[in-house]
Amino acid sequence: MRVGVITFPGTLDDVDAARAVKHAGGEAVPLWHGDHDLRGVDAVVVPGGFSYGDYLRCGAIARFAPVMQEVVEAARGGMPVLGICNGFQILCEAHLLPGALTRNHKLHFVCRDQWLRVENNETAWTSRYDRGAEILVPLKSGEGGYQADQRTLDELEGEGRVVFRYVGENPNGSRNEIAGISSANGRVVGLMPHPEHAIDALTGPTDDGLGVFLSLLDAVVSA
C-alpha cells in the first residue's frame, strides 16, 4: 500500500503522518505541493500545519496547489483521501468536503488531548473502530470550528457522514460538536484532531489513532 503524504510550505505534521502510515504497514510516499502527479499512490494524506502561512483563509491558497488538482481528480475517482487539521481545511476549501472551518469560538488556540466518538465505522478510514467507540487523540488548532448551513448539516447527519464527534465540552464551537466528516462515498474524510500523533503509547497519549491508518490498509487491500 503506497500512501502519499503532501508537504506544502508551512506543513508541520507530514513527518508524523508518514510515520503513522509506516506503523500501519504501508509505504509513505512524499508528495510536494508543486507536483503534477501522485506517483501511483493508493491514497493520500493531507497533513496539518499552516500551508502557505494560512494567508487569506486556512487552506484557501493550498487548494490551488498543483498537487491538489491531482488529489481532487483522484478523489472524484474514488481514491481515499484523509485531511487532518489544516488538511481538513484544505479539503473543505477544495470542495471535496462541505462546510468550512472558522476561528475557535473562544478565540484561543486549543492544544490538548481530546476525546472523540467514532460515529461512522463504514468509511475507508474508520472501519477498524467499533461504532460509538471513544478515542483520545491530540487536538491543536485555532480555527477548528466546523460551520455549515442547516441544510448541509441535516444532510451530513441524515446520511451518517459525521464520522467523529467531540465528547464533553465543545472545544471550538463546531456545530453539532462535529470533529470530522466524510464524503458521500465514505472515501474522503477530514477531521480537526490528530490521529497521527496518537499511534503508540511512547509518543502519544494513546495508540487510538492508529486505527485510522489500519482501516485504510483494509480499504486499499480489499479494493
Partner 1 sequence: MARVVVDVMPKPEILDPQGQAVANALPRLGFAGIAAVRQGKHFELEVADDVDDAALAQIAETFLANPVIEDFVVRRLDA
- Residues near partner 1 (CB under 8 A) are 56-57, 60, 64, 92-93, 98-100, 102-107, 145, 147-149, 173
- CB nearer to partner 1: pick between 4 and 145: 145
Give the whole-angstrom CA distance, residue 7 versus residue 29.
Answer: 11
Is 197 a catalytic site residue? Answer: no
Chain-centroid distance, C-alpha 64: 18
- CB nearer to partner 1: pick between 60 and 72: 60
Give the whole-angstrom CA distance, residue 136 versus residue 1.
Answer: 26
Is 194 a catalytic site residue? Answer: yes
Give the whole-angstrom CA distance, residue 205 versus residue 222.
Answer: 30
Residue 14 is placed in which grid cell?
507530514
| Shortest Å distance, C-beta 138 to partner 1 | 22
- CB nearer to partner 1: pick between 33 and 128: 33
| Shortest Å distance, C-beta 181 to partner 1 | 13
Which residue among the candidates 33, 85, 92, 197 is catalytic per the annotation? 85
Which residue among the candidates 119, 143, 177, 196 is catalytic per the annotation? 196
Is 105 a catalytic site residue? Answer: no
- CB nearer to partner 1: pick between 126 and 170: 170
Burial of 112 (0-12, 13-18, 19+ CB in 10 A): exposed
**Cβ 90 vs Cβ 46: under 8 Å:** yes
| Shortest Å distance, C-beta 115 to partner 1 | 23
Give the whole-angstrom CA distance, residue 161 versus residue 155.
Answer: 8
Which residue among the candidates 93, 143, 194, 197 is catalytic per the annotation? 194
Provide the annotated active-site residues: 85, 194, 196
